[in-house]
Amino acid sequence: MTVPRSTLRLQLHKGFTFDDAAAQVDYFASLGVSHAYASPITTATSGSTHGYDTVDYTKVNPELGGEEGLRRFVEKLRAHDMGLIVDVVPNHMGVGGSENAWWQDILEWGRHAAHARFFDVDWHSPDPALRGKVLAPFLGAAYGEELQGGKIKLAYRADQGRFVIEYYSHVFPVCPVDYPAVLQEAPELAQRFSGLTTQPADQPRAADACTALATIAQTEGGQAAIAAVLAAHSSETQAGRERLHRLLERQHYRLAWWRTAADEVNWRRFFDVSTLGGVRVERPEVFEASHALIFRLFTEGLIDGVRIDHVDGLAEPREYCQRLRARLEELSAERPEALRNGSGHTYFVVEKILARGEPLRRDWQVDGTTGYDFMNDVGALLHDPAGAEPLAALWAEITGKSSEFADEALIARRKILAENLAAELDRVTRALHRIARDAQTTRDFTFTSIRRVVAELVVHFPVYRIYPVGGVRSAEDDRYFSQALEKARESLAAADHVILDQVAQWLGGKLPDEPAQAERNERSERSERGDRQRERAADRSRERDRNQAQAGQNPQASTGSQRRAAQTLFSQLTSPVAAKAVEDTACYRYGRLISRNEVGADPGEFSLSVEEFHKGNRERLASFPHAMLCTATHDHKRGEDVRARIAALSEIPDEWAATLKAWSTLNTPLRRGPNGGHDETSDSHDWAPGPAAESMLYQTLVGCWPLTLAPDDEAGVQELAERVAQWQLKALREGKLRTSWFAPDEAYEQACRDFLFDIVSPQRRNGFLQELSSFVARIGPVGAIDSFQQTLLRLTAPGVPDLYQGTELWDFSLVDPDNRRPVDYALRRQWSEEIDAKGPPSEQMPNWRDGRVKLGLVRRALALRKHCESLFAQGEYLPLAVEGEHAKHVIAYARHAGSAYAIVIATRLAAPLLGDKRDVPLVEPSVWGDTCVVLPEALHSRALFDWLSPHAPKADGERLFLRDALAVMPVALLVEEGVPGCGG
């Protein structure tokens, strides 16, 4: 049970706990999945709806039901012969608040805290105000304003005997070293803390003193003394504010307005999120402490595999993955005997965004990615390449923007680097500047010139990051680095080129005097991987070098160590810039067709050919046969069926252009001016929402309009509008043009919301609403065919298909939190039982609008995977030729193992074949004419059984005609009757 046959992703939170999931296990089993695949189970920030803000790695989240709830859930899974994969978040933890004991420790004791090296903090900041301190950018306004307003308060925790600083839900400990100064009004209490230092040896004495203080403070005199202390630090008086300020200045943190983080934060964040602090999992003790619970649960047999979140955020993804693989295989021998696998192999995938042509590194020893690359491939396959140019021209015409996504992405990269991640850019620059100062030939390279060079490399970087070995870029790394290097050279003045070339060498190039040393380094790395003791020793050595290099305290620190530190910082900058600029900014600005604006996708790549899709599948089978395959995730921007329907617009670009313009004209009177009033200058772009946002709004409405929603259903339309409004607000702020999370323009946002609700108001039921509903009805069957194609390919291609919660019915969700709404399992159970009674999915075609046919497709395809497990797990992938007049409208391939075959056939780009009558998502059999699939020789003239219908088409020699194979469904999954385990 170590390698899944298929998975079901579940988003757990206090509204959907382990017990709630356990109550649905029998339904999950009926779908045909082999493993539940859960969001993070470690303790997260209270009320977290996603679990990625871990505050305690050592405990199962009590809001999910704790460890006992987990055990009950697993017991139900085992009873249905199912396993559990869990999401692990090694890169970051939730900080702020008061729930993270590790973070509270470093706030209290600074660099002498037991957990000081657990977080990626630069304790040697060049800013004197931050030297030895942690920036705490959690204030809602400027520090002085919040202090004057009495928002920052000294408080006493009676149960702990400790003083803390409170700011709303945030709690900041006061270091016990400062208690004598705090307790001036109670000298008899202060004396217990005299002589304390921050050194680790004194910290236990401080804890004892706090325990004594808690006891004394319970007395009447003690309570009076504490009250006097708090009054002396009250912000209600000038003297109290000054005293509180002096106390704060002595702490190991500097309270600051949240806006300061982008420029001054001195610790690594998750992207630009200042409530998530980067964890130094590359340190052996941090690795063990943060994974101890997962390892124990794995050893006890409660979990069977792991999914690693945001692996590119780690200092050394390769080393982390190799270490985790080694530990899991080592522990697998201790698992319950019934769960052991002969090979000891444990399922282990990573969340990784791959650019087109970028390979997942095989030396990471993982089973593959979590499937964004497949989602990108199959999504691009749905698009008609003929629509690319006219839709790009339409976008440029109506918005006045560039028709090229790359132009928008470059602007966004520069903005993100300058405004959101400037502090991280400074940190990379400082690391390189230290290297420059250590050599006579580069000592005159200024900080500013190096920063300029690094910025250009970052904004032009074509992939998330590089992975040097022994401080040297591999050939694969160099391929991408060289692209950034050449683009940076074009952007920079000639005077900066010498600095650019030197920085390129420091960031993993082979220096002229050390080619042999680079090879020795690589051999050493390989040796360390095979020797656990030497690996950990090397970790400690690199840690010392890094700390000394950052502090500037060791002029003799090796150039190689300094370079590796700089490379890590550089890689931990390029990845968040790519994510924030492309996925979270440019994808909300560029709208040629927003079905391509998805996590892991490049909107500049409009479509993918059948041949390219086949090539990707064959490469995955050869390299990562157990990689996940997904088409919907907790991170997607649009549900899988929203994207599929919008993709249908690529087949009718002229019709869509005319429709879009007509709608815009129809709704012109409803536009709002920049301050919310009705717009009188429709020729100007200075109106709400504006041409770009309006275009993307119409695409969104087309994509998510429920097939069963009537325009006169006021309640249904209102519910949909509320969901779209939530998406619109996030889209506008993420786009960072006229409003943003950083500086929201509430008047503009309200005007956009008003426009949305005006165009879908009840009085438009015979106007825009009717036109919208009619248009969706016309393209709905094309979108449904795209959805059937996408679903069947995911369930039959090489890899492990993942089913995101609830998407066995139509998935018309939008970006989070919409895609994490509660799932109606009662409805799915009911329809699942009805499908069992009525037979194969084809019987549900009359009800295609409600999604039951998709549910049947998922169930039947997963049932075949179970019946013919080895066929799909290890079988060959054979692209099949399609011939005839409509060959370009079909994709076909076979899975083959031994004597067993499964033939997959799907209709694609169906709009011209459906004609004007588009009531049912099925091409009339006669329309296919002579179009046929060329079958493998073993199946010539054989009768085949369609797993999705009662149909049994027979090949005419080597040819299987589509008029027979796709007579009742737009997709087919054929097996030869009589083949053991695969017959009807």
Crossing angle of helices 372-381/768-796, nearest 10°?
A: 120
Q: What are phi and psi of 294, to 5 degrees?
A: -60, -40
Give the per-residue pLDDT at 981: 45
Structure tokens at 893: 């391939």
Give the per-residue pLDDT at 534: 45
Q: What is the C-alpha separation between 723 and 192, in angstroms, rounded?
A: 58
Q: What is the DSSP string of 430-486?
A: HHHHHHHHTSTTTTT--HHHHHHHHHHHHHT--SS----BTTB--HHHHHHHHHHHH
Give the per-residue pLDDT at 10: 98
**Domain boundary assignment for the chain:** 7-91+281-370, 101-270, 402-588, 648-778, 872-976
pTM as predicted: 0.93
Structure tokens at 67: 């460890």
Query: Cα–Cα distances in Å, from 975 out to 19, 796, 900, 904?
Result: 39, 13, 8, 9
Cα-to-chain-centroid distance, residue 850: 30
What is the gyration radius of the CA atoms in the chain, in angstroms? 30
Contact 151, 162 (CB under 8 A): no
* Rounded (to 5) percent helix, strand, coil in the chain: 50, 15, 35
> Which among 239, 228, 237, 173 is positioned nearest to 203, based on CA atoms?
173
Q: What is the C-alpha separation between 339 and 316, in angstroms, rounded?
A: 31
Amino acid at 390: P
Cα-to-chain-centroid distance, residue 465: 16
Structure tokens at 612: 């390219």
Q: What is the C-alpha separation between 756 and 741, in angstroms, rounded?
A: 20
Q: What is the C-alpha separation between 745 and 638, in angstroms, rounded?
A: 25
- Looking at the DSSP assignment, which residues form a beta bridge with residue 36? 8, 84
Structure tokens at 598: 């998805």
CATH of 872-976, one of 3.40.50.300, 3.40.640.10, 1.10.220.10, 2.60.40.1180: 2.60.40.1180
Give the per-residue pLDDT at 684: 58
Q: What is the C-alpha separation between 797 and 895, in angstroms, rounded?
A: 8
- Looking at the DSSP assignment, which residues form a beta bridge with residue 54? 44
Task: Return the biggest CA–CA distance within the chain.
Answer: 100
Query: Cα–Cα distances in Å, from 679 out to 254, 332, 671, 684, 759?
Result: 46, 67, 5, 9, 15
- Looking at the DSSP assignment, which residues form a beta bridge with residue 43? 56
According to the CATH classification, is domain 648-778 in 3.90.550.40? no
- Looking at the DSSP assignment, which residues form a beta bridge with residue 255? 136
Strands 890-897 and 800-804, how do they pair? unpaired
Give the per-residue pLDDT at 547: 54
Q: What is the C-alpha separation between 63 and 51, in angstroms, rounded?
A: 10
Contact 575, 464 (CB under 8 A): yes
Q: Which CATH number describes the domain made up of 101-270? A: 3.30.1590.10
Structure tokens at 301: 């047999």
Cα of first residue to Cα of last residue in the chain, in angstroms, is 26
Q: What are phi and psi of 374, to 5 degrees?
A: -65, -40
> Which among 867, 870, 896, 869 is positioned nearest to 982, based on CA atoms?
867
Give the per-residue pLDDT at 544: 53
Q: What is the C-alpha separation between 813 and 683, in angstroms, rounded?
A: 34
Give the per-residue pLDDT at 341: 59
Mean pLDDT by 10 residues, the chain (984 residues): 90 98 98 98 97 98 98 98 97 95 98 97 94 97 96 95 96 97 91 94 95 92 94 94 97 97 96 96 98 98 97 97 96 86 80 96 97 98 98 98 97 97 97 95 97 98 96 95 98 97 94 50 49 49 51 54 95 97 97 97 97 98 98 97 98 98 96 70 72 98 97 96 98 97 95 97 91 96 98 98 98 96 96 87 94 97 95 96 98 96 98 87 97 95 92 92 97 81 45
CATH of 7-91+281-370, one of 3.40.50.150, 3.40.50.300, 3.40.640.10, 3.20.20.80: 3.20.20.80
> Which among 923, 901, 906, 922 is positioned nearest to 974, based on CA atoms?
901
